[in-house]
A = this chain, B = another copy of it.
Amino acid sequence: MQGKGSIIVLGGDGFCGWPTSLRLSNDGYDVTIVDNLSRRKIDIELGSQSLTPIETIENRLKVWKEQTGKTIHYRNINIAEDYHELRELFATLKPQTIVHFAEQRAAPYSMKSPRNKRYTVDNNINGTHNVLCALVDAGVDAHLVHLGTMGVYGYGTAGMTIPEGYLNVRVDINGKDHEIEIPYPPHPGSIYHMTKTLDAILFYYYNKNDGVRITDLHQGVVWGTNTEETLMHPALINRFDYEGDYGTVLNRFLVEAAVGHPLTVYGTGGQTRAFIHIRDTVCCIELAITNPPKTGERVKIFNQTTETHRVRELAALVSQLTGAEVRYYINPRNESLENELVVRNDQFLALGLNPIKLSEGLLGEVIDIAGKYKDRANLEKIIADSRWRADIPLDREGAAAPVSNGKVPA
């Protein structure tokens, strides 16, 4: 075992999991990745692929060893199914921390069909529950760090500044006014987001009944692709999603600009979202690991996000940088046209996070990546073809229908 103790990264082959695993290994933790490669298999199912050419997990780890001399262990375990292997791994490694990224993480994918809805619920809930159950079963006092989403708050916040997980309210008890702190009422916007609000109750219960120490990170939309470690060698490059289901908005715009596709804005683009750069994600995960809850402390919740932007303003920015045309499409999501979003992230700032902002030129790095690999992009996969309700119209090809070029739809 190396200097800083043993850490298991569940979902360590994925977009956030891979750069996190490299950072933790680089910083002296003894890292074991657990991943059933489901994200790579979903690429096959969708007839899509990462814009960046990613190596097999075996090659990734071989090159990492060559570059740094450090070993990252790998186990192919389906945490939603292979409970006894998972428990055995916990009992054997006795990790100090378990980082949990191992969930189906795309809202549009979760809405694609009944099969996708059912897979997302079954996979995410049984996976998270197996982790908690196995920790208690194996008697391992590991700190569980879970990647959640800002989406659990919903966007119907009536202009309220979103607190970090807990809300102070006043309630009348037998005529007396009491101030109490409650978990922020969940308001999920998709089946995927719903599974994260279910996770929160699993954490609440296992923390209360069994004293499991848990940190839940409510993350914004991630942009960017590379970190210090993934840049060490081409074989270490991170995956980059641009298509309708897994491509998050800013990265998707930048690829669209590179391949000469109109920027795909759904609805009026009036949605305000919270954002974070992949490098800050990795930094926040490590800050969470080095600041665990004490024994007996309730679930610790951080908002893992650094700034908020309105989608149509992002489109305007990318259009300005690249000359790309902006096109508005029918919104396949069931959400409010326009929303404000004000988010507290005091805790990470207090722990020393120095946020990477959109303006700081990292957009250029993403534009370079998008340009370099644009020939790998499948243009037919760019427009969303998932929808939130059967009564939301699609165009003839079964994708979101364009409604206007340039100007915001009324």
Question: What is the interface of chain A, defined by CB distance below 8 A to chain B?
Answer: 83, 87, 114, 117-118, 121-122, 125-126, 129-130, 133-134, 136-137, 139, 158-161, 167-174, 178, 180, 182-183, 185-186, 188, 190-191, 194, 197-198, 201-202, 204-205, 209-210, 334, 388-390
Contact = CB atoms under 8 A, between A and B. Distances in A.
A281 to B, nearest CB: 26
Contacts of A334: 209
6 contacts: A87-B114, A117-B133, A161-B174, A169-B171, A169-B182, A191-B205
Contacts of A139: 390
The 5 closest A-B pairs by CB, nearest first: A169-B169, A170-B170, A182-B185, A114-B137, A160-B173
A160 B202 CA distance: 25
A168 B160 contact: no
A365 B134 CA distance: 45
A182 B186 CA distance: 10
Contact of A201 (B114, B186, B390): B186
A180 B381 CA distance: 42
Contact of A125 (B180, B186, B197, B198): B198
Given A169-B170, A171-B169, A209-B388, A133 B161 contact: no
Nearest to A176: B159
Nearest to A335: B209
A130 B159 contact: no
A121 B114 contact: no
Contacts of A170: 169-171
A177 to B, nearest CB: 8
Given A122-B122, A170-B171, 5 more contacts: A118-B129, A121-B125, A139-B390, A201-B201, A209-B389
Contacts of A389: 209-210
A305 to B, nearest CB: 20
A274 B188 CA distance: 31
Given A133-B118, A137-B114, A201-B186, A167 B158 contact: no
A296 to B, nearest CB: 14
